[in-house]
Chains A and B, each alone.
Chain A
């Protein structure tokens, strides 16, 4: 009846896991009780659980990301604490199996449930607004994506209570992740959490490729797209072309574990290297899926806070495309040591180093944009500067690792761990946080507090260096990754320093949550009344904060890459039409949460081999989709009068804030223009006639 699920699954030998469960269940019950007490369930259901609005979906993604940022960070801190308290003559406080679950959980959660949802959340919030669209191409599919991510996250969460999580590392290498070596439910939880979130991401990729290519406002040619839109287009293409490789690898691994096939086993003709190749065929593009949109965010931030047009836009576009293309040709560098011949390793080594060239182009483009710009050191700009310096260091250690000969020394050492944290933390995390501060007022209508934001920034930046520079040293000293204990006394000192780094990062995370609370408390004072708090250049800043459900009362016309800035300097920003029209918008629907709930139960049932339940979930999903396909009443109308009333209110706020007066300054101090109002591309010279 219940497959492999017995009461033993609820038995945990480690008091730490029992304690974590008490905290998790206690928090869950407290949230449920609070929602019931304040009678918020109806509101949540109507406004959030059934919504298809891309802005709200973006917020849900980021809430998921912040929850998993905390969980992923707690795992990291426990790993650091273990290694700092273990060593010659000391065992630390963790059992080896629990330690393995922690480093597996940390990697899995940070990539799949922190970075990806955060990124997709920002994509959801910004992309339709940047391209002048009223929603994404497939709003319901978008809702299905977000709730599938939530369902996958819930599987990770429940593995803490029922059974255990994988011990096979975030990449789940075979044969260790096969049934022979990992008979427990942990790897199955890992498989289905990744499988469901991966499918959700594939759907997101399909959605955003279509949205960006088909839904741009009139006049927005490809070379007039904002840089963030460009990077998200490249990322979405990468998602569509690479995530199915993960889907296939995980599906075949699941078959090996549940029905006894021999795809990746070490006996009966299976091939472990097949899994590792397939995993990295996805895994390496995934690195660029994570980092390219962050590059886009930095481009938006640099232009906005330097009050200057982006230097080398065309080179930036080509560099993005080049990175996206090259990302498919380097996967073998993840396993130089696994038996290919030197020629093959050399080819992949050179391909890997080549990626540094377009990345370098981008770095110089940002630096030249800052050059003689009027830089405002607002929070997103701080994160960008922190990124530039730190990321270059991480990129350099990457080029070092790309040399097969050197990699034979560094492979699977803490040097590697330091390297990929050194690219992913500044490259992705700092970018996501810069985007978070940048677009937060657009979504919620108030700015985030600067003081606590600075605390958070310095906590992250200093904490990063203190935590990871020692790992570089340890790697060179020969310490392998993922050691629960060790007997080299020379390592201990550096591991203690790294643990102190984790504490400093913890302060950065604390300050960020404090910042959100303080900003919410002072939201009246921090309010953004004009919709354009930073002097923005792209279309999202031309509409109110928070934007109305339909985003744009009138679909804008685009005449330049800096569409909104061009409107401001040429006196046609905020122009109103002679008459407004009715707007058709998609209706809310519970279909997405139904499919997500069925997916969660399916995953859980598969983990425990409750086959009848898994079968019912598949049938239920197919039935739900068929029922929905018979419903043609999927849209509703916002009457023109309502749109006009919203716009009247917005224009009164603009008048009150003297926006139209302020626009004269923009014209005087802004970008250089030709007499007929067209922007002049920035060069390495400051102004015309003055040598740079």
Chain B
């Protein structure tokens, strides 16, 4: 059973497939998260022009910072992909290395996002300033909270691999974390093209 640490790579590989029963369940959960995010996008699109006399997107967004954030998050999906490649090769230390790289990129993304939030709030454009800003902080903040929990999960997995080695249970969990991490990347691309790009284009002409 899953109880004894097994080094049988094939069992680990089988457990890491995306279509096992438990991973299928995780897909179903991700679908519910898609709906959650679509509601936040709905709120954002609906409220995005309601400035209530406050700042507009052009005044508070900086393309430079968002570009760095985006690149970090996209790169973290690549490093996670490499961690999964290492999993299929059974290279324990490589997995840990790539997971830690993913963690660092995630941390960079989150640090950047939080400092952007702090900056915007300092300029007097907090979430209680207007409907637009509430929706902005609500959507981007929810994505950030997901990234934060993903990072706790990453560290937990690093600890489990270090302590337990490659067991089928751990292979299965990594497959789910991988789905989760790529999903957050996908959501970010939607955030980028719904929030920042139109905001900056409009902001430029306003």
Interface residues in B1-54 (C-beta closer than 8 Å to A): 1-3, 21-22, 24-25, 28-29, 31-33, 35-36, 39-40, 42-43, 46-47, 50-52
- Partner of B128 from the list A213, A241, A252, A260 (CB cut-off 8 Å) is A260
Q: A214-B21, A248-B40, A584-B1 are in contact. Are A261 and B138 (CB under 8 A)?
A: yes
How many Å lie between the Cα of A281 and that of B40 in the bound state?
13
Q: Is the CB of B24 within 8 A of A242?
A: no
- Measured between beta carbons, the chain A residues less than 8 angstroms from B134 are 255-256, 261-263, 269-270
- Measured between beta carbons, the chain A residues less than 8 angstroms from B192 are none
Q: Does B129 contact A (CB under 8 A)?
A: yes
Q: A206-B32, A245-B39, A261-B138 are in contact. Are A137 and B52 (CB under 8 A)?
A: no
Q: Does B201 contact A (CB under 8 A)?
A: no
- Measured between beta carbons, the chain B residues less than 8 angstroms from A190 are none
Q: Is the CB of A633 within 8 A of B39?
A: no
How many Å lie between the Cα of A242 and that of B169 in the bound state?
31
- Partner of B25 from the list A206, A261, A274 (CB cut-off 8 Å) is A206
Q: A138-B25, A271-B50, A635-B1 are in contact. Are A263 and B135 (CB under 8 A)?
A: yes
- Partner of A269 from the list B22, B31, B131 (CB cut-off 8 Å) is B131
CB-CB nearest in chain B for A263: B134
Q: Is the CB of B22 within 8 A of A137?
A: yes
- Partner of B43 from the list A213, A242, A252 (CB cut-off 8 Å) is A252
Report whether over half of chain B's contact residues are helix, strand or loop; otherwise say mixed. helix
Q: Does A244 contact B (CB under 8 A)?
A: yes
Q: Does B79 contact A (CB under 8 A)?
A: no
Q: Does B132 contact A (CB under 8 A)?
A: yes
Q: Is the CB of A632 within 8 A of B127?
A: no
Q: Does A240 contact B (CB under 8 A)?
A: yes
Q: Is the CB of A244 within 8 A of B33?
A: yes
Q: Does A209 contact B (CB under 8 A)?
A: yes
Q: Is the CB of A261 within 8 A of B24?
A: no
Interface residues in B126-160 (C-beta closer than 8 Å to A): 127-132, 134-135, 137-138, 149, 152, 156, 160
- Measured between beta carbons, the chain A residues less than 8 angstroms from B2 are 632, 634
Q: Is the CB of B39 within 8 A of A261?
A: no
- Measured between beta carbons, the chain B residues less than 8 angstroms from A207 are 25
Q: A243-B32, A248-B39, A626-B156 are in contact. Are A137 and B128 (CB under 8 A)?
A: no
How many Å lie between the Cα of A242 and that of B32 in the bound state?
8
Task: Give the Cβ gap from B204 to chain A, nearest Cβ, in Å.
Answer: 22
Q: A261-B134, A263-B135 are in contact. Are A278 and B156 (CB under 8 A)?
A: no
Q: A245-B35, A252-B43, A630-B160 are in contact. Are A269 and B28 (CB under 8 A)?
A: no
Task: Give the Cβ gap from B148 to chain A, nearest Cβ, in Å.
Answer: 11
Q: Is the CB of B24 within 8 A of A214?
A: yes
Q: Is the CB of A248 within 8 A of B36?
A: yes
How many Å lie between the Cα of A269 and that of B2 in the bound state?
54
Task: Give the Cβ gap from B161 to chain A, nearest Cβ, in Å.
Answer: 12
Between A256, A263, A584, the greatest number of chain B beta carbons within 10 A of the residue's beta carbon is seen for A263
Q: A206-B32, A252-B138 are in contact. Are A137 and B25 (CB under 8 A)?
A: yes
CB-CB nearest in chain B for A273: B46
- Partner of A262 from the list B21, B35, B46, B52 (CB cut-off 8 Å) is B52
- Measured between beta carbons, the chain A residues less than 8 angstroms from B46 are 271, 274
- Measured between beta carbons, the chain B residues less than 8 angstroms from A248 are 36, 39-40, 43
How many Å lie between the Cα of A665 and that of B32 in the bound state?
49
Q: Is the CB of B51 within 8 A of A269?
A: yes
How many residues in B have their beta carbons less than 8 Å from beta carbons of A?
42
Task: Give the Cβ gap from B83 to chain A, nearest Cβ, in Å.
Answer: 18
How many Å lie between the Cα of A207 and that of B32 in the bound state?
12
How many Å lie between the Cα of A42 and that of B163 in the bound state?
35
Interface residues in B97-141 (C-beta closer than 8 Å to A): 127-132, 134-135, 137-138
Q: A138-B22, A248-B36, A271-B47 are in contact. Are A261 and B156 (CB under 8 A)?
A: no
Interface residues in A440-471 (C-beta closer than 8 Å to B): none
Q: Does A121 contact B (CB under 8 A)?
A: no
- Partner of B32 from the list A244, A271, A632 (CB cut-off 8 Å) is A244
Q: Is the CB of A259 within 8 A of B24?
A: no
- Measured between beta carbons, the chain A residues less than 8 angstroms from B24 are 210, 213-214
Task: Give the Cβ gap from A566 to chain B, nearest Cβ, in Å.
Answer: 27
How many Å lie between the Cα of A243 and that of B50 in the bound state?
27
Q: Is the CB of A632 within 8 A of B47?
A: no
Q: Is the CB of A271 within 8 A of B35?
A: no
How many Å lie between the Cα of A159 and that of B132 in the bound state?
34
- Measured between beta carbons, the chain B residues less than 8 angstroms from A281 are 39
Q: Is the CB of B39 within 8 A of A278?
A: yes
How many Å lie between the Cα of A267 and that of B33 in the bound state?
30
- Partner of A278 from the list B3, B42, B51 (CB cut-off 8 Å) is B42
Q: Is the CB of B39 within 8 A of A244?
A: yes
How many Å lie between the Cα of A430 and that of B37 in the bound state?
36
Interface residues in B45-87 (C-beta closer than 8 Å to A): 46-47, 50-52
- Measured between beta carbons, the chain A residues less than 8 angstroms from B31 are 240-241
Q: Does A124 contact B (CB under 8 A)?
A: no
How many Å lie between the Cα of A95 and that of B160 in the bound state?
59
Interface residues in A228-253 (C-beta closer than 8 Å to B): 240-245, 247-249, 252
- Measured between beta carbons, the chain B residues less than 8 angstroms from A213 are 24
How many Å lie between the Cα of A263 and that of B160 in the bound state?
41
- Measured between beta carbons, the chain B residues less than 8 angstroms from A488 are none
Q: Does A568 contact B (CB under 8 A)?
A: no
Q: Does A609 contact B (CB under 8 A)?
A: no
Task: Give the Cβ gap from B2 to chain A, nearest Cβ, in Å.
Answer: 6
- Measured between beta carbons, the chain B residues less than 8 angstroms from A256 are 134
- Measured between beta carbons, the chain A residues less than 8 angstroms from B32 are 202, 205-206, 240-241, 243-244
How many Å lie between the Cα of A137 and that of B169 in the bound state?
15
Q: Is the CB of A247 within 8 A of B43?
A: no
How many Å lie between the Cα of A270 and that of B131 in the bound state?
5
Q: Does A215 contact B (CB under 8 A)?
A: yes
Interface residues in A615-634 (C-beta closer than 8 Å to B): 622, 626, 629-630, 632-634
Q: Is the CB of B130 within 8 A of A268?
A: yes
How many Å lie between the Cα of A630 and that of B169 in the bound state?
10
Q: A138-B22, A248-B36 are in contact. Are A269 and B50 (CB under 8 A)?
A: yes
- Partner of B127 from the list A245, A247, A259, A274 (CB cut-off 8 Å) is A259
Q: Is the CB of B127 within 8 A of A629?
A: no
Q: A209-B28, A263-B47, A263-B135 are in contact. Are A632 and B35 (CB under 8 A)?
A: no
CB-CB nearest in chain A for B51: A269
- Partner of B130 from the list A245, A252, A269, A626 (CB cut-off 8 Å) is A269
- Measured between beta carbons, the chain A residues less than 8 angstroms from B39 are 244-245, 248-249, 278, 281
Interface residues in A257-288 (C-beta closer than 8 Å to B): 259-263, 267-271, 274, 277-278, 281
- Measured between beta carbons, the chain B residues less than 8 angstroms from A262 are 52, 128, 130-131, 134
CB-CB nearest in chain B for A256: B134
How many Å lie between the Cα of A202 and that of B50 in the bound state?
32
- Measured between beta carbons, the chain B residues less than 8 angstroms from A243 are 32
How many Å lie between the Cα of A633 and that of B152 in the bound state?
23
Task: Give the Cβ gap from B32 to chain A, nearest Cβ, in Å.
Answer: 5
- Measured between beta carbons, the chain A residues less than 8 angstroms from B22 are 137-138
Between B29, B149, B156, B163, the greatest number of chain A beta carbons within 10 A of the residue's beta carbon is seen for B29
**Interface digits, A601-617 against B, CB 8 Å rule (1 contact, 0 not)?**
00000000000000000
Please list 19 pairs of residues, one from A and one from B, whose beta carbons are closer than 8 Å in the complex, sorted by A's number: A138-B22, A206-B25, A206-B32, A210-B21, A210-B28, A214-B24, A240-B28, A243-B32, A245-B35, A248-B40, A255-B134, A256-B134, A260-B127, A263-B138, A268-B130, A268-B131, A278-B42, A630-B160, A635-B3
- 4 other A-B residue contacts (CB within 8 Å) besides A206-B28, A626-B156: A205-B28, A267-B52, A271-B47, A629-B160
Residues of A whose CB lies within 8 Å of any CB of B are 137-138, 202, 205-207, 209-210, 213-215, 240-245, 247-249, 252, 255-256, 259-263, 267-271, 274, 277-278, 281, 584, 622, 626, 629-630, 632-635
Ranked 10 nearest A-B pairs via Cβ = A269-B131, A269-B50, A248-B39, A261-B134, A269-B52, A260-B128, A210-B25, A244-B36, A244-B35, A214-B21
